[in-house]
Amino acid sequence: MGKTYGSQSYMKKLSSEDCNARRENSRAILFLLAAALLWSTGGLVIKWVEWNPMAISGVRSAISAVIIATAFRHDLKITCSPLQLAGAIAYALTVSLFVVANKLTTAANAILLQYTAPVHVALLAAWLLKERITLRDWLTITAVLTGMVMFFFEQMSPGNLAGNLIALFTGFTFALFIVLMRKQQGDSPAASVFLGNVLTALLGLPFMFDSVPGLHGWLGMIYLGVFQLGLSYALYTWALARVTAMEAILITLIEPVLNPVWVFLLMGEVPALTSLVGGVIIIGAVTVHHIIGARS
């Protein structure tokens, strides 16, 4: 009888742990969606602020560093380990170069080229994290990239070659950041985000004295620092420890879909039919991927 009771108690414990893990995963998905929502507002606001792109990036990250330090004040363990510093550098390159790309090329080109990241994540996660990338993952990536091309088809243009190349490079740095953060799961990944913001602020410092934005520019900077970067990466960092690298990048692919929503609401521009079809493909592929993954 004692053995049976012990077995039942053990099964109840396992069931409780499983329920907690499911709740944590569901909350992480919601946090990823919230982060993508906040990121999606960046393109318009960055274009709105008339200032040097490196200065915008630096001030935005300086504000964001304060938000991250506050959100993770009990878990911010700065060790300056090679892994922590590598994550910080990948973060700094991603957030600063994306601002530069937005200024040098079209917002559509910048976001489309950055979201080649899922391909890099798949390859890096299999190599560095030993996370198995399934056929379902590759099919989802293919569907998403197809949807992205359709989504931005009407907006794509040759643009500035340098801006396009920088945006393409941020796809790799963003993927590297995600994988390095996942690799720090048992450590303090938030420290990489904090250090990355500090590094970005220092890189932008020399460019802050050429000119000064007006009042509306500073309001935009405060929004970018507090919400679009600070709060979003606080949510993203918490979620990263509770999802796979592929989930972390695929779920946030709703970000580009939300961009024309803001354009429509603020400027009254109606998206083209190809954009609507592309958006449906992206959201559909990500949703089906997550539902199948949850069931299995």
By the 8 A CB rule, do 101 and 163 touch? yes
By the 8 A CB rule, do 253 and 282 touch? yes
Angle (nearest 5°) at CA 253 between 252 and 259: 100
C-alpha to C-alpha distance for 206 and 54, rounded to whole angstroms? 9
Quick one: tokens of 189? 């990944």
Amino acid at 261: V
C-alpha to C-alpha distance for 237 and 256, rounded to whole angstroms? 20
Cα–Cα distances in angstroms (integers) from residue 61 to residues 10, 23, 77, 91, in the given order: 47, 31, 19, 11
Whether the full predicted model's pTM is greater than 0.75, yes or no, is: yes
| 88-140 residue pLDDT tens | 999 999 999 988 888 888 777 787 788 889 999 999 998 888 888 889 999 99
C-alpha to C-alpha distance for 290 and 296, rounded to whole angstroms? 10
The sign of the torsion formed by the CA atoms of 238, 239, 243, 248 equals negative
**Tell me, what's the pLDDT at 7?**
58
| 32-46 residue pLDDT tens | 999 999 998 887 888
